[in-house]
Amino acid sequence: MFSKETYIARRAELCRRIGKGLILLPGNRNTPNNYPNNAYYFRQDSTFRYFFGLNVPAVVGVIDAETAEATLFGDDFTVEDIIWTGPQPTLHDMGAEAGVEQTRPMKDLAEVLRRAIEHNRTVHYLPPYRGETKIELSELLGIDIKMLHARKSIDLMFAVAEMREKKSAEEIEELERAFQIGYKMHTLAMKMCRPGVVEREIAGAIEGISKSYGQGVSFPSIVSQHGETLHNLNCDGVLEEGRMLLCDAGGESVEGYCSDHTRTYPVGGRFTERQRDLYNIVLRAHDHVKSIIKPHMMYRDIHRASYLSLAEGLREMGLIRTSAEEAVEAGAMYMFMPHGLGHGLGMDVHDLENVGERSFDFAAIRERAEQSATCIYRAAWRVEPGTVMSDEPGLYFIPALIDKSRAEGLYKGIVDYDALDAYRDFGGIRIEDDVLVTDDGCRFIGDKTIPITVEELEAVVGR
């Protein structure tokens, strides 16, 4: 945990932004996996942890936006619990660490909220993403579960998004720690990448690293020779000389901050000429993006810059026949990279995508926020000093998408479909690092680079 002053200051700032009503921030509970006492690995709600620091299940925070008074609701462990868990701190002691003086049993929460509603006070809550939280909020607030989305607090979403977007110095230190875990994961994957190894052997080994040095993976690892499948969680493949392995993986620091990196390299450790050419196109786009990011840029312009760079490379290879601009304008790059260039990164690996749209022009997106369950759009996102985002261009040859585009007559005269035939079994390449926007530009998170050039990878990938 950070010092209690950090959490007190965050809550005060949140109250300043919200001004009226109660702010209800439920922490996550233990979720049963296959029977009640065998729970999924516990993951705290990031917004609760941002404002209260506590990484324990079944605690709810309430902040009075008018007085800035915070209360934690939860139940102390009984002797029957302690038989299984060992001695635990009381809620009161945990609250003190977060600068919260008032703690109350969970059974009081419904009454506190009922009284606030009776007095016509707004109870601000974020769009819930877990089933249990939806049920809990529905019961506590007397709102039909289907109406929870309509009654969410857009003011709270925007305030939380704006605050969590801008990383403080101590948060950046945590992101650097998450990078160190990611570095160990990726360099181990590279060393293990030998013909005959099963993809899941690598996935298991690197996920073990994430648990040894932090609180586990920041998302399920993607370790696959089918890099063209963007989030390929199947890892049953046996590594074959001549193919490329895509490894997209990251870890969480002990304080819950995430890393997210991707490297793609040839099984057997030697790039073929075609692999090298395509790889260097992606690397050029990755480096180009890093060279242009500055504060106040719109994310969509950064994304477009990556498309232009990739399109220029494909033009040089003869797969695109027009200028890069024409290909991008026609939407042809969607076929080669059907995902955004990046996403926010912080306490969640796709940071704030359960909270709100990253933008400092919230008025412009209010209507869309009202309609969207989770507001994951990035179109109005403007990056500012303290923003952390991934830079993850890729080139993918997805036979189903190529065939569909060709059959529909899309990008005719722009894409050379006949030339593309030779790449149908190529797979996909993605390269990903995490960028911190600074006052005058940006830098990658981390004190070193995970091996990235053809030469660096050939030196480290197993043989």
Residue 216, interface with ligand GLY (CB under 6 A)? Answer: no
Chain contacts with Mn ion (rule: CB under 5 A): 248, 260, 390, 392, 432
* CA nearest neighbour of 4 among 90, 103, 97: 97
Assigned token pair, 18: 């919200």
Q: Is the CB of 260 or the CB of 357 nearer to ligand GLY?
A: 260
Whose Cβ is closer to ligand GLY: residue 208's or residue 220's?
A: 220
What would the x/- binding string for ligand GLY be over residues 292 to 331, using CB under 6 A? ----------------------------------------
Q: How far is the CB of 347 from ligand GLY (least distance, A)?
A: 15
Residue 255 interacts with which of ligand GLY, Mn ion, none, CB < 5 to 8 Å by class: none
With a CB cutoff of 8 Å and minimum separation 6, the contacts of 268 are 194, 195, 241, 242, 461, 463
Of 42, 77, 129, 219, which lies in the binding site for ligand GLY, with binding defined by CB under 6 A? 219
**Nearest distance, CB of residue 260 and Mn ion, angstroms:** 4
Provide, rounded to whole angstroms, the least separation between the CB of residue 219 and ligand GLY.
5
Burial 122-156 (b: 16+ CB within 10 A, else e): bbbbbbbeeeebbebbbebbebeeeebbeebbbbb
Report the number of secondary-structure helices (H) and strands (E) in the chain: 17, 15
**Pick 192 or 217: Cβ nearer ligand GLY:** 217
* Dihedral pair phi/psi, residue 218, rounded to 5°: -85, -10
Q: Which does 44 bind (CB under 5 to 8 A by kind): Mn ion, ligand GLY, none?
A: none
Report if residue 348 touches ligand GLY, rule: CB under 6 A: no
Q: Is 248 in the site for ligand GLY (CB under 6 A)?
A: yes
First to last CA, the chain: 43
- Between 217 and 365, whose beta carbon lies closer to ligand GLY? 217
C-alpha distances in Å from residue 269, one per residue of 229, 264, 276 = 22, 11, 12
Instruction: Provide CB contacts within 8 A for 200, sequence distance 6+.
Output: 223, 235, 236
- Which residue in this structure is represented by tokens 């786009």? 285
| Residues with Cβ within 8 Å of residue 273, at least 6 apart in sequence | none
Residue numbers 386-415 binding ligand GLY by CB under 6 A = 392
Question: Shortest approach of ligand GLY to residue 225 CB, angstroms?
Answer: 17
Least Å from the CB of residue 101 to ligand GLY = 40
Closest approach of Mn ion to the CB of residue 165, in Å: 17
Select from Mn ion, ligand GLY, none the partner in contact with residue 434, using the beta carbon and a kind-dependent cut-off of 5 to 8 Å.
none
CB closer to ligand GLY, 312 vs 392: 392
E strand spans, 177-299 = 222-224, 244-249, 261-266
Task: Work out whether 260 is an interface residue with ligand GLY (CB under 6 A).
Answer: yes
Q: Is 376 left (phi over 0), alpha (psi -120 to 50) or beta?
A: alpha
The entry of ligand GLY, Mn ion, none that residue 10 binds, CB within 5 to 8 Å by partner kind: none
Q: Is residue 228 a contact point for ligand GLY (CB under 6 A)?
A: no
Concatenated DSSP letters of 396-421: E--HHHHHHHHHTTTTTTTB-HHHHG
d(CA 13, CA 226): 46
Residue 219 interacts with which of ligand GLY, Mn ion, none, CB < 5 to 8 Å by class: ligand GLY
Q: What is the smallest separation between the CB atom of 223 and Mn ion, expressed in angstroms?
A: 12
- If you compute the radius of gyration of the chain from its CA atoms, what whole number of angstroms results? 24
Total residues binding ligand GLY (CB under 6 A): 6
The distance of closest approach from Cβ of residue 291 to Mn ion in the complex, given in angstroms and rounded to an integer, is 19
What does residue 148 show for φ and ψ, rounded to 5 degrees? -60, -40
Interface of this chain with ligand GLY, residues 425 to 444, rule: CB under 6 A: 432
Q: In whole angstroms, what separates CA 154 from the centre of its chain?
A: 21
Q: How far is the CB of 259 from ligand GLY (least distance, A)?
A: 10
Residues that bind ligand GLY in the complex, under the rule CB under 6 A: 219, 248, 260, 343, 392, 432
